[in-house]
C-alpha cells in the first residue's frame, strides 16, 4: 500500500506540474483552456472553474490540457490553431520546461535542507574492496590502491570519484591513475552498463552491525547494533563486504562477534530472498554520516549542475539505444517507477524528493523527443509549418497522430513487459 501511495503522489505531482506549464503558457498567449486533467480515462472528480473544467481521472499514467480550437480552420483569436507557430511551439515546450523547473527547485531544496552523506565520501579514495567480475577488477584495481585520477581528471575523495565515474559512464575507454606501493600506475578498461553493481571499487567499511531488521534471522538470535563480526563459519572477516559475500551463499552460519569487549558465538539460519535465492540475515552496516547543507546560492548552483549532468547522461543513453550500444531493456516503466518510489519513500523525504527530481528530468526529455503524440512531435510539426509557411495537409496530420498512438502503445507494452520480466527474474530496477 505504501508503494502504491508513493507512486501516486510522485506521478501526480510530476503530471500536474507538466500540464501546468501547458496551461499557463496557453493562458499567457490568450488561448482558451477547456479541460485541465491529471490522469486519463473516466473522471473521478471534476469541477468547472471559470472557462476551464478541472479533472482528476482514473488512470494516473499521464494527463492532458484540452485547448479550444486545436483543429485547423477556426478563425477565433482565442483558438490554439489561430495563434502563430512560435506561440504554439512555446505552449508545447512549456510542459517539459516546467518539469525542468520542478527538478531544479527540488534539488535546490535538497541542497539547502541538507542530506546525510557517509563520512567516507570525503576521505581519500583508498580501495578497501573490489567486487568480483566488476569493471574495477577487470582493470586490475587492488585493495590498498589510492585512486588519483579518472581520464586525466584529478580525484580528491570518494564523492569526487563517484561524480567523475558518473560523467564518464558512456565513454568507451576508462583510464585510472593509482598509487600502489609508492608507484603511480595507469590502469585501463571500460565501464560495464550491464553490471548492476556499478564500478565495483569500494572504501573499507568496518564489519560492524548498524541496523537489525525486525523479524529477521539476525534479530531472532539477538544480534545488536554495534556488534563487530569477527568470523563467519571460521573465516576471518576484515570488512563488511567480505561478510556480505559469505552471507549470500551460506545455508547455516556460525558467527563469532565482539560485543562490548566480550567474544560471543552465535549460530543462525539465513532466510532466502524468494526472487533471487540469495541468503540474507537482515542487517546493515554501521556507517558514520555527516549532514551536508549548502547556502541558497551554492544549492542553486549545484542544482543546475546536477540537472546538466542528468540531461547529458539521459541524452547519451537515448543515443546509445538508437545506435545499439545500450540495450533498450534498460528502460523502466510504471512498475519500475512504483518500486523505486516505494523504496525511496521508506528511506525518507529527501531520497523520495531526489527520485522525483530525477524522473522529472527524464519526463521532460522524453516528451521533447520528435515523435508523434509527444510534445516534441508537435513542435516538429509547427517547425515544418513555419518553414513551409502554410499548414500541413490534414491527412498527413491524422496519419501522424495514428502513428504516434501506435508507437506509444507499443512502447508502453514494451516497458511494462520489461518491468515484469525483471520482477520475475529478481533483478533490481
Tell me the per-residue pLDDT of 137-165, one tens digit each, with 9 for 90 and over.
999 999 999 999 999 999 999 999 998 88
The rounded percent of the chain whose pLDDT value lies above 70 is 89
Q: Please pick, among 19, 168, 177, 202, the residue that the annotation labels catalytic.
A: 19
Closest CA to 203 of 157, 156, 237: 157
Position 339 pLDDT exceeds 90: no
DSSP run (H or E) holding 300: helix 296-323
* Residue whose grid cell is 476551464: 52
Position 11 pLDDT exceeds 80: yes
Q: What is the pLDDT of residue 361?
A: 93
DSSP character at residue 257: E
**Does the annotation count 132 as an active-site position?**
no
**Rounded distance between C-alpha atoms, residue 409 and residue 137, angstroms:** 42
Position 209 pLDDT exceeds 50: yes
Strand partners, 108: none
Position 177 pLDDT exceeds 90: yes
**Averaged pLDDT for residues 300-308:** 93
**What angle in degrees, to the nearest 10, is found between the helix axes of 394-425 and 334-347?**
60
Amino acid at each position: 500500500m505504501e508503494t502504491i501511495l508513493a507512486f501516486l503522489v510522485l506521478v501526480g505531482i510530476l503530471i500536474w506540474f507538466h500540464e501546468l506549464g501547458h496551461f499557463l503558457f496557453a493562458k499567457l498567449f490568450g488561448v482558451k483552456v477547456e479541460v485541465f486533467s491529471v490522469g486519463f480515462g473516466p473522471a473521478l472528480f471534476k469541477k468547472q472553474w471559470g472557462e476551464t473544467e478541472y479533472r482528476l481521472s482514473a488512470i494516473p499514467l499521464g494527463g492532458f490540457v484540452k485547448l479550444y480550437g486545436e483543429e485547423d480552420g477556426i478563425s477565433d483569436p482565442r483558438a490554439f490553431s489561430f495563434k502563430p507557430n512560435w506561440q504554439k511551439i512555446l505552449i508545447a515546450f512549456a510542459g517539459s520546461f516546467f518539469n525542468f523547473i520542478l527538478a531544479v527547485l527540488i534539488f535546490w531544496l535538497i541542497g539547502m535542507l541538507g542530506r546525510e552523506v557517509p563520512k567516507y565520501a570525503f576521505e581519500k579514495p583508498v580501495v578497501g574492496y573490489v567486487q568480483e567480475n566488476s569493471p574495477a577488477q577487470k582493470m586490475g584495481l587492488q585493495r590498498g590502491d589510492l585512486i588519483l585520477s579518472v581520464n586525466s581528471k584529478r580525484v580528491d575523495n570518494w564523492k569526487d570519484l563517484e561524480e567523475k565515474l558518473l560523467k564518464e559512464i558512456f565513454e568507451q575507454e576508462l583510464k585510472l591513475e593509482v598509487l600502489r606501493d609508492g608507484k603511480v600506475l595507469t590502469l585501463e578498461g571500460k565501464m560495464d552498463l550491464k553490471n548492476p553493481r556499478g564500478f565495483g571499487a569500494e572504501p573499507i567499511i568496518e564489519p560492524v552491525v548498524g541496523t537489525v531488521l525486525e523479524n529477521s534471522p539476525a534479530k531472532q538470535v539477538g544480534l545488536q547494533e554495534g556488534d563487530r563480526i569477527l568470523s563467519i563459519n571460521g573465516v576471518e572477516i576484515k570488512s563488511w563486504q567480505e561478510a556480505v559475500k559469505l552471507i549470500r551463499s551460506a545455508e547455516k552460519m556460525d558467527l563469532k562477534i565482539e560485543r562490548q569487549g566480550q567474544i560471543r558465538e552465535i549460530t543462525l539460519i539465513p532466510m532466502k530472498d524468494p526472487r533471487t535465492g540469495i541468503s540474507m540475515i537482515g542487517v546493515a552496516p554501521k556507517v558514520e554520516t555527516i549532514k551536508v547543507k549548502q547556502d541558497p546560492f551554492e544549492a542553486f548552483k549545484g542544482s543546475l549542475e546536477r540537472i546538466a549532468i542528468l540531461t547529458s547522461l539521459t541524452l547519451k543513453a537515448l543515443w546509445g539505444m538508437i545506435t545499439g550500444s545500450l540495450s533498450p531493456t534498460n528502460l523502466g516503466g510504471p512498475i519500475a517507477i512504483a518500486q523505486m518510489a516505494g523504496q525511496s519513500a521508506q528511506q525518507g523525504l529527501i531520497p523520495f524528493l531526489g527520485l522525483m527530481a530525477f524522473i522529472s528530468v527524464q519526463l521532460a526529455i522524453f516528451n521533447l523527443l520528435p515523435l508523434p503524440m509527444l510534445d516534441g512531435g508537435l513542435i516538429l510539426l509547427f517547425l515544418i509549418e513555419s518553414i513551409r509557411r502554410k499548414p500541413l495537409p490534414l491527412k498527413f496530420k491524422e496519419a501522424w497522430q495514428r502513428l504516434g498512438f501506435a508507437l506509444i502503445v507499443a512502447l508502453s507494452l514494451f516497458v511494462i513487459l520489461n518491468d515484469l520480466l525483471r520482477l520475475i527474474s529478481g533483478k533490481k530496477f
